[in-house]
Amino acid sequence: MKTTLVILTYNEIVGLKETFSGIPMDAVDEVFAVDGGSTDGSLEFFKENGVTCHIQDVKGRGEAFRLAFEKATGDALIFYSPDGNETAADIFKFKPYLDDGYDIVIGNRMSDGGHNEEDGQFLKIRKWANNFFTLIANVMWNRGDFVYDTINGFRAITRSAWERISLDGPGYTIEYQSSIRAFKLGLKIKEFPTYEGQRIDEQEGSPSIETGLSFLKLFFREIKVGQRWKLIAPKK
């Protein structure tokens, strides 16, 4: 199984500089970045370090995933965000599960020894919201083992699964939609515990309320869509 590591950035230079040396490039067969149109020096950083960077016409993580599959030569893509949240050393953990035949492999921040960025806080608003969305997706569509982190971006998706789930979700909903459609098709999902650190840059990441609403909208849209997306020509 040939793997491609996709580094996802949008004005992430602070985190990128700090995490870059810890990325195990030898864990994968191909590496490139997909960037949402950074103006903070991220593009120059990739150039200086010999990493090909594909720049999106349209911003958003959904678009980034679609462009990544268009550009990659791997049979499976591993998505990594260099903002401090994700443990780069865990990039090694995806391939064995992909080789075992799993369609989607997810770093799990929510159970089994995983760690969420809010675990040290009394009020874990984002974690609880994530767990709520995870619960309703599992109840609604999952007929296999419970999946604890349907939303984490730190995941791998095989090309064959990608072609079958044909995602059209916007922005930060892309991972949630990938989990939901994988449930609908009964695809094989594997989770391993991962440690979610704090965002390195002080700037705000995804806006919580807006992102939560977009998840809710996606959830209801997926109820409406059912299995009908399969009637449309698959997105490559």
Ligand X SMILES: Nc1nc2c(ncn2[C@@H]2O[C@H](COP(=O)(O)OP(=O)(O)OP(=O)(O)O)[C@@H](O)[C@H]2O)c(=O)[nH]1
Q: Does 85 bind ligand X (CB under 6 A)?
A: yes
How far from the centroid of its chain's Cα atoms is residue 172's Cα?
A: 9
**Using the rule CB under 6 A, which residue among 82, 107, 169, 212 binds ligand X?**
82
> Which two three-digit tokens encode residue 57?
């016409």
- The one of ligand X, Mg ion, none whose footprint includes residue 98, by CB under 5 to 8 A per kind, is none
Residue of 42, 85, 194, 214 interacting with Mg ion (CB under 5 A): 85
Cβ(99)–Cβ(1) below 8 Å: yes
**CB atoms inside a 10 Å sphere around CB 233:** 7
Q: Does residue 169 belong to the site contacting ligand X (CB under 6 A)?
A: no
Does 9 bind ligand X (CB under 6 A)? Our answer is: yes
- Among Mg ion, ligand X, none, partner that 93 touches (CB below 5 to 8 angstroms by kind): none
Subset of residues 14 to 43 that bind ligand X, contact rule: CB under 6 A: 34-36
4 binds Mg ion (CB under 5 A): no
**CA-wise closest residue to 54 among 34, 74, 30, 31:** 34
Q: Does 175 bind ligand X (CB under 6 A)?
A: no
Task: Tell the residue number behind the tokens 């089994």, with chain if given.
Answer: 112
Nearest to 217 by CA among 161, 185, 159, 176: 176
151 binds ligand X (CB under 6 A): no
Distance from C-alpha of 43 to C-alpha of 49, rounded to nearest angstrom = 10
**Where along the sequence are the contacts to ligand X (CB under 6 A)?**
8-10, 12, 34-36, 56, 59-61, 64, 81-83, 85, 153, 199, 204-206
